[in-house]
Amino acid sequence: MPTRNFSESRDDIDVLVNLNSAPLKILQICHRVPFPPIDGGNIVMMNNAVGLADYGNEVYQFAINTKKHFTASESIPKSIRDKVHFSSSLVDTKISLAGILKNFFTSESYNVIRFYSESVENDLKKILRENKFDIVQLETLFASPYISCIRKHSDAKIVLRAHNVEHVIWERLASNEKNFLKRRYIKFLASRLRKCELNVLNEIEALIPITNVDEATFRSEGFKKPMLTLPMSLDIEEYPINSKVQPEMCLFHLGSMDWLPNLEGVRWFLDNCWEEIHKLIPGLKLFLAGRSFPDDIVAKNYPNTFCEGRIEKAVSYMSDKQIMIVPLHSGSGMRVKIIQGMALGKTIISTTIGAEGIPIENEKNILIADSPQEFITQVKRCMENPEWCRKIGNSGRKFVEENYSNESVARKLTEFYQQLNVPH
């Protein structure tokens, strides 16, 4: 198959494939159950599946149901389960000392191999034997331990939907870690992840990164097969704005705290920015929420700080607050919470890394701050000029409407998959 670069937008060029052809049959393998839509990964996976199905494809969603993020199938609305032919299989991905020690004597990535289970493979075999798929879409590197099973039982093209460049996240975490022993171990995990990631790139037919930054990283690693850079998508109707009620001028952060870059970022903001901001603006409130919220942050009792754990409805939580902070210093891929916040007209103050991969314009639809002083300055500007602050948020809403709709993303991905299946 000749090499093509599918990473450019096709909004202004002719469709290469006849969309009146038979619909594609797509198996999406998720590294966890993508419901409820309370974090970025879940939103990306579920919106992608529903969007592809609504666009006329036959979608089967198979999820690795981890004990850590266990979700009962019946909690997913039946309308969604039926639309994407949902099924799942239980696996325990818990980190153990025995597992860590055993991993030192193998060449595998402990981050990834924890997602393998023989029972999951058996359930997957059954699906593959009963259906003839055109595409098997792996959601993240953590679904890759089942590639050999897919090859044995299906002729489908295997595509990796890369939410991040995983090894880059861990390399950044290592560089920010002050403890020598922890830094050495994180570097070890990063090197194993990089090796695993490169091996998987050799085993797939195509790659779907989320950002142009990640695309460039994969290209620099030598990936020359078909690639489509495609962002996450939203159903914009699920993000209503009440123009009659203005949200409170306060700060908030919403993100899963069991994802290390989020935890690292929140600790950094509290330790380096919040004390000075509180001195300058004593009445300003800071709201923090997310799954697995750490008790030690709550115990420190930071002034005017309100900590919550898991939030069931992100839209409801964000609706009455105006300024979202995203103080990330590690990570890769796209921060879905930024797109959600923009969709709700929130004013985003983010580090460069936090906004990485989103074609934003500083001081037009987002505010960029990388140092403590820059965060303090941007917060102060917002509080001194609320009208300007809300104007930034309204511009962000328009940006999302134009670039991140479910229909637009599903169309581009369907065209890419149809072209991938055209004989060469």
pLDDT digits (tens, 9 = 90+) for 253-268: 999 898 889 999 999 9
Same domain, residue pair 201 and 322: no
Answer whether 32's CB lies under 8 Å from 69's CB. yes
Contacts of residue 332, defined as CB under 8 A and 6 or more positions apart, other chains included, come to 164, 165, 166, 168, 169, 172, 213, 214, 217, 356
Domain that includes residue 209, residue range: 25-230+405-420
Structure token digits, residue 123 = 């359930």
Q: What torsion, rounded to 10 degrees, do the Cα atoms 379, 385, 390, 393 define?
A: -40
Assess whether pLDDT exceeds 50 at residue 358. Answer: yes
Whether 10 is covered by a domain: the verdict is no
Rounded distance between C-alpha atoms, residue 342 and residue 360, angstroms: 11
pLDDT single digits (tens) 197-222? 999 999 999 999 988 889 999 999 99
Please state the rounded mean pLDDT for residues 324-333: 84
Assess whether pLDDT exceeds 60 at residue 242. Answer: yes
Please state the rounded mean pLDDT for residues 335-360: 92
The band of 16, judged by pLDDT with boundaries at 50, 70 and 90, is very low
Answer whether 26's CB lies under 8 Å from 134's CB. yes
Assess whether pLDDT exceeds 50 at residue 14. Answer: no
pLDDT at position 312:
82
pLDDT single digits (tens) 126-139? 999 999 999 999 99
The radius of gyration of the chain's CA atoms, rounded to the nearest angstrom, is: 22
> What residue ranges in 18-69 does DSSP mark as E strands?
25-30, 58-66
pLDDT at position 21:
61
Whether 12 is covered by a domain: the verdict is no
pLDDT at position 26:
98
For residues 86 and 10, the model is more confident at: 86
Same domain, residue pair 294 and 345: yes
Nearest partner of 62 among 80, 40, 42, 84, judged by Cα: 84
Range 79-82 contact pairs with CB under 8 angstroms and sequence separation of 24 or more = 80/35, 80/46, 80/50
pLDDT at position 95:
86
CATH of the domain at 155: 3.40.50.2000
Same domain, residue pair 207 and 267: no
Rounded distance between C-alpha atoms, residue 93 and residue 174, angstroms: 22
Same domain, residue pair 284 and 365: yes
Assess whether pLDDT exceeds 60 at residue 386. Answer: yes
The band of 333, judged by pLDDT with boundaries at 50, 70 and 90, is low
Whether 377 is covered by a domain: the verdict is yes
DSSP for 222-241, written as a single string = T--S-B------B-GGGS--
Point out the least confidently predicted range of 17-31, 135-149, 176-190: 17-31
Same domain, residue pair 411 and 391: no
pLDDT at position 4:
36
Residue with tokens 């993508």: 34
Whether 8 is covered by a domain: the verdict is no
pLDDT single digits (tens) 100-123? 888 888 889 989 999 999 999 999
Bridge partner list, 64 = 89
Rounded distance between C-alpha atoms, residue 283 and residue 244, angstroms: 24
pLDDT single digits (tens) 404-413? 888 889 999 9
Whether 2 is covered by a domain: the verdict is no
Q: Which of 9-18, 142-151, 331-340 has the highest mean pLDDT?
A: 142-151
Assess whether pLDDT exceeds 50 at residue 8. Answer: no
DSSP for 197-231, written as a single string = HHHHHHH-SEEEESSHHHHHHHHHTT--S-B----
Same domain, residue pair 299 and 182: no
Percentage of the chain lying above the pLDDT 70 cut = 93
Same domain, residue pair 354 and 381: yes
pLDDT at position 162:
95
Average per-residue pLDDT in the chain? 90
Whether 70 is covered by a domain: the verdict is yes
Same domain, residue pair 215 and 320: no
The band of 235, judged by pLDDT with boundaries at 50, 70 and 90, is confident
pLDDT single digits (tens) 168-202? 888 888 988 889 999 999 999 999 999 999 999 99
Same domain, residue pair 355 and 387: yes
Please state the rounded mean pLDDT for residues 296-309: 94
Whether 119 is covered by a domain: the verdict is yes
pLDDT at position 124:
98
Whether 159 is covered by a domain: the verdict is yes
Same domain, residue pair 312 and 212: no
Assess whether pLDDT exceeds 70 at residue 403. Answer: yes
Please, how many CA atoms are within 13 Å of residue 187, restricted to the half-sphere of its CB? 10
Handedness of CA 334, 142, 43, 341 (dihedral sign): negative
pLDDT single digits (tens) 80-103? 999 999 999 999 988 888 888 888
Same domain, residue pair 189 and 310: no
Q: How many structural domains is the chain composed of?
A: 2
Same domain, residue pair 411 and 300: no
Q: What order of strands is seen across the sheet that includes strand 367-368?
A: 305-307, 286-289, 248-254, 321-326, 347-350, 367-368
For residues 68 and 200, the model is more confident at: 200
Point out the least confidently predicted range of 14-18, 52-56, 144-148, 416-420: 14-18
For residues 4 and 149, the model is more confident at: 149
